[in-house]
Amino acid sequence: MADYLALNYCPQCGAALADQAAYGRVRRYCPACKRVVFRDPKAAAGVVVERDGQALLVRRSTKPRRGLWSIPAGFIEYDEAPAAAAVRECAEETGLRVKLTALLDVIPGEGLPGEASFLIVYLGRITGGQLQAQDDAEQAAFFDPDDLPPLAFSATHRALERWRARSR
Ligand SMILES: [Zn+2]
């Protein structure tokens, strides 16, 4: 596992963690609490927003893959529903309010530093708001499926492929 995901200290008591075999693999273990400290996947949610046969994309202003384009997406808060996260991220990055109309796919990440472990992608349509790039998007625009800008993630490719397959 890469260093950026290192889990060195117990989140409950702060003791240094050790490796220990548990539940079928080597896991991090707190000798003070006498418990396994599970390493959880990072979940993200996003939405393919369709308008007049085009999809809404945002140009990333942050790592990873800064300057490349992705669908509006972001990490799900620990106490947030995936669909609510997708709607929130779209509003934060593009200014547009959307209604989700379908679940498009669940797509694993590439293991990049700072990237989600998996992305839950919905299909959505606009219900309000004004298109305005903001938050960690520096541009937001609609693109034809045959004229896409440089895409940020393999998950972006796959989400748009799923969308195109549905539109045919
Ligand atoms: Zn502990």
Interval 6-38: pLDDT, tens: 899 999 999 999 999 999 999 999 999 999 999
Topology of the domain comprising 3-37: Ubiquitin Ligase Nedd4; Chain: W; (2.20.70)
What pLDDT sits at residue 3?
A: 54
Distance (angstroms) between ligand 1 centre and the Cα of 30 equals 5
Distance (angstroms) between ligand 1 centre and the Cα of 5 equals 18
What pLDDT sits at residue 10?
A: 97
Q: Does domain 43-167 have CATH number 1.10.760.10?
A: no
How many residues make up the chain in this entry? 168
Closest to 54 in 3D by CA, of 133, 164, 166, 165: 164
Distance (angstroms) between ligand 1 centre and the Cα of 19 equals 13
Alpha-carbon distance of 46 to 102, in angstroms, equals 12
What pLDDT sits at residue 5?
A: 65
What pLDDT sits at residue 1?
A: 41
Distance (angstroms) between ligand 1 centre and the Cα of 14 equals 6
Distance (angstroms) between ligand 1 centre and the Cα of 36 equals 9
Alpha-carbon distance of 163 to 168, in angstroms, equals 9
3-state helix, strand, coil in the chain (%, to 5): 20, 40, 40
- Give pLDDT < 50 ranges for the chain: 1-2
Domain with CATH 2.20.70 in the chain: 3-37
47 by Cβ neighbours in 10 Å (0-12 / 13-18 / 19+) ranks as buried
For 83, residues 6+ apart whose C-beta sits below 8 A from its C-beta are 45, 100, 122
Distance (angstroms) between ligand 1 centre and the Cα of 15 equals 5
Distance (angstroms) between ligand 1 centre and the Cα of 7 equals 12
Distance (angstroms) between ligand 1 centre and the Cα of 52 equals 54
Domain with CATH 3.90.79.10 in the chain: 43-167
Distance (angstroms) between ligand 1 centre and the Cα of 115 equals 27
Q: Which amino acid is at 123?
A: L
pTM: 0.90
Structure tokens at 14: 């702060």
